[in-house]
Structure 1
Amino acid sequence: MDFGLVLQTDPPASAVVGLMRRAERNGFRYGWTFDSTVLWQEPYVIYSRILEHTERLTVGPMVTNPGTRAWEVTASAFATLNEMYGNRTVCGIGRGDSAMRVAGRPPNTLARLGDAIRVIRDLAEGREAVVDREAGTTLTLPWVENGRLPVWMAAYGPKALALAGQVADGFILQLSDVYLTEFMVKAVRTAAAQAGRDPDDLTVCVAAPAYVTDGTPEALAHAREQCRWFGGMVGNHVADLVDRYGEHSDVVPEALTAYVKQRQGYDYSHHGRAGNPSTDFVPDDIVDRFCILGPVEAHVEKLRRLRELGVHQFAIYAMHDAKESTVDAYGKYVIPALG
């Protein structure tokens, strides 16, 4: 199992670079960041610094979207980084939550997302692509040689899961609930097989907060408060699914949707941050299911269960007060047990 670290690009950027270097020293193979350029600093600039100051780390957004940048711009950014540092990028992509909504736009359609995945990957790998279907505009980045860009898609709902299986190189699931992971990985793999693809070729990445404690009830309570924001972030996507499919649906598990009944709006100024006041509706059991909290043994046990379900990477959302100690604990105890 591979391990990744997910950070927000808060200033100073040097702190982000430093944490990524620390992660690499501890055996992490992936460095991810949010991509919402109103709320945080521009990630692609920071990727260049991370790549310059690491040797093996693969970097990318968790996640970008097809609406805030022209697709050829996104492809060119990845291709440039790959030319400079040797194909050490991955493109995580989704419909867009904070990046789109903060700018007053709705998330992208799945049709647009599917087209973008194909175009960005083709251009970044040096192939010709149609960037505007209506105009029939075809582009190539003529300077790309031996480029490689895996594109991993984030998804929750049935249509998005199907699209990930049909067109993406990998699937990003932003929660670590064992039951939901099994349900969604199966849906993605089934869609891949139905599309004539080999399901084993898809990389599965589970991303969630992890907080290592000393095993006491007091430490667990503190960890829950530090990670409760994550249930609110996931709740934005879940609320969209409830609006579309209703509270009781055969295609969306109630284990995912039931908790958003108490949700009363969301303030993006606190997005992805510990203490987010918009996440008071998230109960303890959701925090426990969606995140990995507790002593090292609890982390290893849950990750072993996820690995048995076909998860290839666990990426830690480190938006809490124990970033360094969590990275170090994973490097000393967890990664050796599962890597």
Structure 2
Amino acid sequence: MEFGVTFQTDPPAKRVIELTRRAEEHGFTHAWTFDSHILWEEPYVIHSQMLAATERIMVGPFVTNPATRDPSVTASVFATLNEMFGNRTICGIGRGDSAQRVLGRKPATLGQVERAMHVIRELAEGREVDYDGTKVRIPWVKDGRLEVWMAGYGPKALSLIGRKADGFILQLADPVILEWTKKRVHDAAREAGRDPREVKICVAAPAYVGDDLAHQREQCRWFGGMVGNHVADLVARYGEGSEIPTALTDYIKAREGYDYSHHGKADNPTTEFVPDDIVDRFCVLGTVEDHIAKLRTLEELGVDQFNVYLMHDAMGETLDAYGEEIIPALSRTARSEGSQR
């Protein structure tokens, strides 16, 4: 299993660049950033500096969307960064929850996301696309390569991921929900004639290493609120008692609105409805040993990358714990199991 880390692009940007360099030194393979241009600093400008400060780590948005950013422009950004830094970018994409809602708009449709995935990948890799009836190609792209991973929770989104995406982004670390979503992605891949193993699985969640579990929960409770926005959309679309697992939907019954001005922040006042058991299930908390145990479970369920949402008051300490203890421990387990086969 590979490891990624996601940052909010809060100022100063140099802090994100420093942490990216530190993550690469610790063995992380991917460094991602949120993409919500009103709430945080412009990610692609910072991506250029993240890439310049490192040698191997892959960099990309977690996640962009086709509504606030025209897909042809997004493709050109990736193609440019790849030309500069040797195909070291990756595109995470979704419907644009915070990026759109903070502007008073609805997230993009799945149809828009599907079209954008095609346009971004094809143009960034140098191929021609039909763009609203006009044939276009970026002429200067040579040997471009770009994977496009999609985030989603609901049945229709999971079907699209299985049919079209290079990777599946699940923003929570609950093994029960992972199994449910993974099955639907894999079923859709098979129906489309794909090998399900072609669709990489990325689980993303806040991770906080330490002994004070109560404090960790308070620092990460915001995540249950963020996930709750997507769950509320699912309930509105599919209704209660649908095929959506109750493990995902029950906890939002006490939800009363959401304050996007505190999105992704530990002090978000509209996430008090999130109970401790949801924080524990959705996040990875506790001691080093607790992290290793949960990550082994996720790995056994087929997760290709665990992505640390590094958004709390112990970023450096958690990053170091992963690099010095957790990643090496899981690597030793993988090598041991490989030698026994």
TM-score range relative to shorter protein:
over 0.9
Q: 2:328 corresponds to which residue?
A: 336
Q: 2:334 corresponds to which residue?
A: none
The answer (yes or no) to whether the contact 1:71–1:120 under 8 Å persists in 2 is yes
The reply to whether residue 264 of structure 1 matches residue 256 of structure 2 is yes
SS at match of 1:228: helix
2: CA distance between counterparts of 1:156 and 1:130? 29
2: CA distance between counterparts of 1:17 and 1:60? 13
SS at match of 1:64: coil
1: CA distance between counterparts of 2:244 and 2:111? 20
2: CA distance between counterparts of 1:188 and 1:91? 18
Write out aligned runs for 1:1-339 (5 A).
Answer: 1-132=1-132, 136-214=133-211, 219-249=212-242, 251-339=243-331
Which string of whole-angstrom CA distances, capped at 9 and with x for unpartnered residues, describes residues 286-320 of structure 1? 00000000011111111111111110000011110
Q: CA deviation at 1:326?
A: 0.3
SS at match of 2:49: helix
Which string of whole-angstrom CA distances, capped at 9 and with x for unpartnered residues, describes residues 220-241 of structure 1? 0000000000000000000000
The answer (yes or no) to whether the contact 1:204–1:313 under 8 Å persists in 2 is yes
**Structure 1: 4+ residue segments shifted above 2 A:** none
2: CA distance between counterparts of 1:39 and 1:189? 34
1: CA distance between counterparts of 2:208 and 2:84? 35
Structure 1 unaligned regions, length at least 5: none
SS at match of 1:49: helix
1: CA distance between counterparts of 2:82 and 2:173? 30
1: CA distance between counterparts of 2:96 and 2:176? 25
The answer (yes or no) to whether the contact 1:213–1:296 under 8 Å persists in 2 is yes
What number of residue pairs does the alignment pair up?
331
Q: CA deviation at 1:247?
A: 1.9
Code of the aligned partner of 1:14: K
Q: CA deviation at 1:202?
A: 1.0
Q: 2:336 corresponds to which residue?
A: none
The answer (yes or no) to whether the contact 1:71–1:131 under 8 Å persists in 2 is no
2: CA distance between counterparts of 1:76 and 1:9? 21
1: CA distance between counterparts of 2:247 and 2:177? 7
Which string of whole-angstrom CA distances, capped at 9 and with x for unpartnered residues, describes residues 36-62 of structure 1? 001111100000000000011100011
Q: CA deviation at 1:106?
A: 0.5
* TM-score of the aligned structures, taking structure 2 as reference length: 0.96
The answer (yes or no) to whether the contact 1:61–1:91 under 8 Å persists in 2 is yes
The answer (yes or no) to whether the contact 1:231–1:286 under 8 Å persists in 2 is yes
2: CA distance between counterparts of 1:324 and 1:274? 17
Structure 2 unaligned regions, length at least 5: 332-341
Q: CA deviation at 1:22?
A: 1.0
Code of the aligned partner of 1:182: E
Q: CA deviation at 1:131?
A: 2.1
